[in-house]
Amino acid sequence: MSCDYTALAAPGVQGLQPYQPGKPIEELARELGLDPAGIVKLASNENPLGPSGKALAAMQAALPELCRYPDGNGFALKQKLAERFALGVDQITLGNGSNDVLELIARGFADRDSEIIYSQHAFAVYPLVTQAIGAHHVQVPAKNWGHDLPAMAAAVTERTRIIFIANPNNPTGTVVGQGALTGFLEQIPERVVVVLDEAYCEYMHGDDAADGIPLLARFPNLIVSRTFSKAWGLAGLRVGYGIANAQITNVLNRVRQPFNVDSLAQAAAVAVLDDADYLAEACRVNSAGLQQLNQGLEALGLEVIPSAANFVAVDVGRDAGPVYEGLLRRGVIVRPVAAYGMPRHLRISVGLEAENRQCLSALAAVLAEL
């Protein structure tokens, strides 16, 4: 090989660090010779309930049509979402997971001359999609682990095209209140697209709940992204969506692959939206689990960042690497977040009651032995 293909990669891609997913159960089982059934994975903010029965039945029913291409327009799913949120079908972009939508936004609205703003400790996909298109990233220091909206507004320049805000944020679980968000949007020029990533919004209830949808009518530069991967329990299918005005939606659909959401994913997503009981149970189990983890971690003398999502970031009081490794040896997979600038924290996803318990007792044992 006489060519250095790494050096030939597009400029942004040369410095790109691939996304580090949570360790799969099967991989840990292979590495340590453990029984996969005994391993607890609380590393990827997945829904511990398993998928909805309604989603499974819809996929079963869709199987005979697998020889055909999916509906590239996602008619049934968009229709369903439009009804649910009282929006137009022309305001919805379907994605292969909401990560796909985030990438469509970067490709649709930014290039190498653009600046993209996001917060320190924010979701790792924002730097990834920014670098992949060679745009300039502007990372604004966090405040109390969360988004510092005034500082983010102050970072806008002539070259700013996109601002990403995760609400709640992953991996910190922090929330931006509706009032602060509205005040922020009022300050941002309309030519700058603001992305509200609401991957965990279904877990939130009451007055403090994050909800960008009512703001869409007032702020034409707003895009709200949501997903079926978390509370709706369909992470393996890869389906998410963006909501925005019809012009923005048209731009996103120009850069979208025509068949980016497969037919089983579309069928399952349509069906699960009718499964209100599933969502309610997911929220109930999550609230209880969040409380269990918070109490258990505090009982170990550890500091937890208050979370509104289905995970907690906990300061383990030392370099988290060895704690993560110790947990792996005990069959518990959590997520180290050093790559997010949080070397002393671990992110623990909320599991079922017994999984949370297993994680807490493994953590107590690991901390005692270190």
Ligand X SMILES: *Cc1c(COP(=O)(O)O)cnc(C)c1O
Q: Is 124 helix (H, G, I), strand (E, B) or coil?
A: coil
User: Cβ 105 to ligand X, closest distance in Å?
Assistant: 12
Nearest approach, Cβ of 113 to ligand X (angstroms)?
26
Whether residue 157 contacts residue 125, with contact meaning beta carbons closer than 8 Å, is answered with no
Q: C-beta of 180: minimal distance to ligand X in Å?
A: 18
Quote the tokens at residue 339: 């790559």
- Using only C-alpha atoms, what is the Rg of the chain? 21
Residue number with CB closer to ligand X (118 or 184): 118
164 vs 358, beta carbon nearer ligand X: 164
Nearest to 42 by CA among 275, 303, 356, 364: 356
Nearer to ligand X, 194 or 366 (CB): 194
Nearer to ligand X, 161 or 347 (CB): 347
The sheet carrying 240-243 orders its strands as 92-95, 240-243, 222-227, 193-197, 160-166, 115-119, 136-140
Q: Which C-beta is closer to ligand X: that of 77 or that of 366?
A: 77
Residues near ligand X (CB under 6 A) are 45, 97-99, 123, 166, 170, 197, 199, 227, 229-230, 235, 240
Question: Do the Cβ atoms of 156 and 294 come closer than 8 Å?
Answer: no
Distance CA 172, CA 312 (A): 7
Tokens of 136: 């300039």
Q: How far is the CB of 24 from ligand X (least distance, A)?
A: 15
- In the bound state, the residue with its beta carbon closest to ligand X is 97
| In the complex, least distance from residue 124 CB atom to ligand X, rounded to whole angstroms | 9
